[in-house]
Chain A
């Protein structure tokens, strides 16, 4: 059975994809029945509740653990008996934490901005212009997605080393100036969705190629730009490997690299100040939770588009 996508679907059309919620009764229990409080429904909500606790509780527990005195970290009570705010002061003193946060912020913003712009340029090149090697080169773009980073890791390190950029933050984002295969793929899909007539009309009005990109493609594909931007923001913020490889001076660390150092140093000294480690973990996580709060629509949308490409 094939769907003709060009035919507009009316709400009562049998070919219309089911809306969220409509399907469930058909997928699982009897179809078309009215929703009653069946035992199946109860089980489902119980399972959902259980899953919610399993997914959310660790983060809630993290907040609570970060506020406990040392002796209570492991009592696993949600509300600390005594709230010890000073844990965060101790984290502050455990290293240049504010510096780490700012480094992470700066690196992530640079990484996200460069990769968004460069991937958009390249994606537009592949989507709009016709040239002989287009198919072959785009195949190459897709092929690089499969290459494990480990293969290029050492030579790329040697390049940055030769250029004198080891122990600076440049290697953490500068590679993004050249675009990234997955994002190029994602944005190309968006650009292909823009009607070609729009570009032709602008061209007749005297628009240059760069103008087509800047005035038509980019504004129309803003959701794609935002998706790529915040995906890379998150990926770059979370990265541990590159800071481990490139950064030696503590002042240049990013927050994850700093967090690793804090956790290690407590273990090394035999002190196991887990409450401090948890406070530092929270500090490293909260900025991303804030990003998610603002960008969740785009995160979820971005993942949904992946499904359609899959």
Chain B
């Protein structure tokens, strides 16, 4: 009896020491979380109910910011633009990346070269990609329309025609999506070979094999990229700001290129409407949260996990 209790207590002392060490190791993150995430979240929520502007006296305005948010046509416009951009880029990006990953599967030793080529654009800073494509997409003399011209297609004014501003942003994003090609390639390489052999024995054709074997087996990677791409697209800033928001455009910039983050940034750091910008930020958070939850709900019905669990 005595000995049992003794080991018990020694064990718990050890456990306490281990726990202390654990908390010590994670303390940088805990501090960072409190000081730079949780604290600021509370402050941001508070600011969203004020007219804080960095300089003038601050008043509590209740739900005024949120009411204005619904009335400000530029909020609705920027949100709609962001959705349209995301709706173009996310599915297109996934189809193109998956297609390229499938093409790369065949190539054993060449695949390194192609992976490098496809990933290289990701290294280009967003500003640089934006500046480059401003010229490449030029309506009259840009390279893309030149190429389209060879096929007798008259390309649009990508960067000036209001209808084409969002597609032009999607083109730039497509150019820098090499990361998902690599992710899909890794997932495709992990599909057990005998599944294809079994499908083949069952007389499944190439389309059937793709739909019934390949897609379910890589659904985890697909799901992951759908979510990360959507979250990223909702927060797109660099390219839009570089291409369409210099001093030259000023007030004349077409609202067709106004994405949500650009409008948020303008409110916070150009118009110094920080209370209103905080409200915008919270609305963005809510939208991303809802989209992600829906995607996870829907996704879980289609994603196949080996062994039946996530990890």
Contact = CB atoms under 8 A, between A and B. Distances in A.
Interface of A: 1-3, 14-32, 44, 47-48, 51-52, 54-59, 61-62, 65, 73-76, 118, 121-122, 124-126, 128-132, 134, 137, 140-141, 144, 146-159, 175, 177-179, 184, 209, 213, 234, 237-238, 240-241, 244-245, 255-256, 259-260, 263-264, 267-268, 274, 277-278, 280-281, 284-285, 288-289, 291-292, 296, 299-300, 303-304, 306-310
B125 interface: yes
B124 A59 contact: yes
Contacts of A29: 206
* Central interface residue in B25, B214, B282, by most chain A CB within 10 Å: B25
Contacts of B271: none
Interface residues of B, number: 117
B119 to A, nearest CB: 7
Contacts of B306: 2-3
Contacts of B282: 151
Contact of B29 (A122, A213, A278, A296): A122
Interface in B115-133: 115-121, 123-128, 131-133
B284 interface: yes
Contacts of A289: 120, 123
A119 B26 CA distance: 9
Q: Specify the main secondary structure of chain B where it touches its partner.
A: helix
Nearest to A213: B25
Contacts of A263: 127, 131, 134, 242, 246
The binding surface of chain A is classed by DSSP as: helix
A260 B24 CA distance: 42
Nearest to A179: B29
B288 A146 contact: yes
Given A24-B105, A150-B264, A18 B189 contact: yes
A296 B284 contact: no
Given A118-B28, A260-B242, A159 B40 contact: yes
A187 B114 CA distance: 28
A296 B31 contact: no
Contacts of A178: 28-29, 31-33, 35-36
Given A76-B142, A122-B28, A238-B124, 6 more contacts: A20-B111, A21-B111, A121-B26, A128-B25, A260-B127, A264-B248
A240 B242 contact: yes
B302 interface: no
Contact of A141 (B29, B120, B178): B29
